[in-house]
Amino acid sequence: MIKSKNIKKTLSASFTAILAFSLISPVYGDASTTTVAGASTISAKVSAKLNQQFSDNEYVTYLVKLKDQVDTESVAKHAFQKASADQISPAAAKLSVRTTVVNSLIDTAEKSQQPVEEYLKKEVNNGGVKKYKSYFIVNALAVTSTKEVLDNLATLPEVDKILPDETRELQKVEIDKDAQPAVEEAAEQAAVDTAVTEENAQKSVEESVYKDAVTPSKAEWNISKIKAPQVWAKGIDGKGVVVANLDTGVEYTHPALKRKWRGLNASGQVVNPELSWYDAVNGASLPTDANGHGTHTMGTSVGSDSNGTNEIGVAPGARWIAVRVFNPNTTDSILLDGGQWLLAPVDKNGKKHPELAPDVVNNSWGGGAGQDEWYRPVTKAWRAAQIFPEFSAGNTTLSNPGGPGSVANPANLPEAYATGATDVNNKLASFSLRGPSPYGEVKPEITAPGVNIRSSVPGGVYEGGWNGTSMAGPHTAGLAALLLQAKPSLTVDQLEDVISKTATPLTDSQYKTSPNNGYGYGLIDALAAVNSVLN
């Protein structure tokens, strides 16, 4: 058996503890009369990096984090207990929990942010604030203002800390357009990996490796490697499950993806697109992707064309929604905006719809090694709302050359389920970052194919040779979708447990026992995972 995650993952503590708020009226002083105590408070709360930014700019954008933060795990635990007492169905219980979590976050933000917003509104009129935006997924605000306004905000008792709105980079992907179709080193191993026991899904080793890199007639090698076709043969392909990604967007007109977008009805007409797509960067009303990264990753999760010649996705029966947060870079505030929308998509009238949140979210992006301020509460909120949070482990860069403890945040969070990358021979990719995490946990939890991956790209075409943990992560997201169709009542904790303990253990000369900080619990095995919940 796999040991449970730390107590931070097990929903615990008291629900009522978050319902009491002490709102203290702020006092605003002129910057020129700041007391010694006030200066000390400002220094303790404000990042030194912001002072440097203000030395070069009159207005700077930064993030204000408030002290009152919701314990979403406790809220979810209480909601699950109530649902159990009421003897409602598992589906109704999940929705009740999600709605309770979202409402608790919103209520806390509205109450504790009120005095801060009153000050900011005044300063908008005075010219001290250019713009600001409130967030509830983390009780915080993004503010663009003068240094004087920042200093005054720091003196407010509601404010915990003020940090830069950091720029974040999309995980670098190496694309080898000359890459040849993947071939196993050992035919015997390939036979084991691709054997299909169901009569209507049998194939030989030779058939599992496509001969034509442009229009393969069978499932991609990586899809066969994790035994997804055997699961489809059982009638399980992700139907009824919604997968999302936070990425560069998705080309919704792509033949492998169009009919799977939730924004289209059965007749192929666009209906309420704002509930199935959010562009936190440019505000595009329909899904689009100029970069290609998001289209490629979504294809690996759910893609397939209508005639069966391009089986690129793990869960081709699932539907998808998406958030564009990279173009190709992003900031913390944009990521918070996108992560919040996923928790409760917003309609044209501004009404939030937690019932339309996805079941799974793929995150093929990350920061550097070490701990991060913002995404742990985001990931906690997703988990509490029963949204499975898959993160790619990250790739080596000049600033993070890999090795022990290099796994990127937010993948290194205890609440994130991280995926590393392997090649066709089940060897860990040289670029795949390693654990342990800063929290002392094995990372990544799992591995999946991430070398020479062929999937959908903008222009309605397909492209192989993509390398990165960005390519590995969507396999895990797709597997979660298969499992949720097989057993919809599975919680996020149960999904993690099933995926980990049914994986094929992987070791090498560096990692001689399993689990380890290279491969985690091993290569995901869709057939074993689904069989375990069906049985």
Task: Give yes or no: 247 in active site.
Answer: yes
Give the active site residue among 470, 475, 497, 525: 470
Write out the H or E segment, with its range, that includes residue 395: none
Q: Which residues contact 435 (CB under 8 A, 6 or more apart)?
A: 404, 405, 407, 412, 441, 442, 443, 444, 517, 518, 520
Angle in degrees, CA 470, 475, 479, rounded to 5: 145
Asked whether the CA dihedral 110, 111, 114, 117 is positive or negative, the reply is negative
Give the active site residue among 254, 279, 289, 293: 293
Task: Give yes or no: 78 in active site.
Answer: no
Please choose, from the candidates 74, 92, 75, the residue with its C-alpha nearest in 3D space to the C-alpha of residue 83.
Answer: 92
User: Do the beta carbons of residue 291 and residue 175 sit within 8 Å?
Assistant: no
Q: Which residues contact 128 (CB under 8 A, 6 or more apart)?
A: 145, 146, 148, 149
Task: Give yes or no: 470 in active site.
Answer: yes
415 φ/ψ angles, rounded to the nearest 5 degrees: -85, -10
Please choose, from the candidates 212, 173, 203, 201, the residue with its C-alpha nearest in 3D space to the C-alpha of residue 462.
Answer: 212
Give residue for tokens 């008291």.
14
Alpha helix stretches (DSSP H) within 303-405: 332-343, 375-384
Give the active site residue among 237, 247, 337, 525: 247
Asked whether the CA dihedral 331, 290, 480, 207 is positive or negative, the reply is negative
User: Do the beta carbons of residue 417 and residue 483 sit within 8 Å?
Assistant: no
Give residue for tokens 């940090």.
163
3-state secondary structure of 500: helix
Write out the H or E segment, with its range, that includes residue 421: strand 417-422
Q: Which residues contact 75 (CB under 8 A, 6 or more apart)?
A: 15, 18, 100, 101, 104, 384
Give residue for tokens 């994130």.
416
Angle in degrees, CA 353, 354, 357, rounded to 5: 105
Q: Tell me the CA distances in angstroms from 132 to 259, 325, 432, one per residue in order.
A: 38, 18, 38
d(CA 473, CA 446): 9
Beta pairing partners, 456: 462
Query: Would you name the residues annotated as active-site residues?
Result: 247, 293, 470
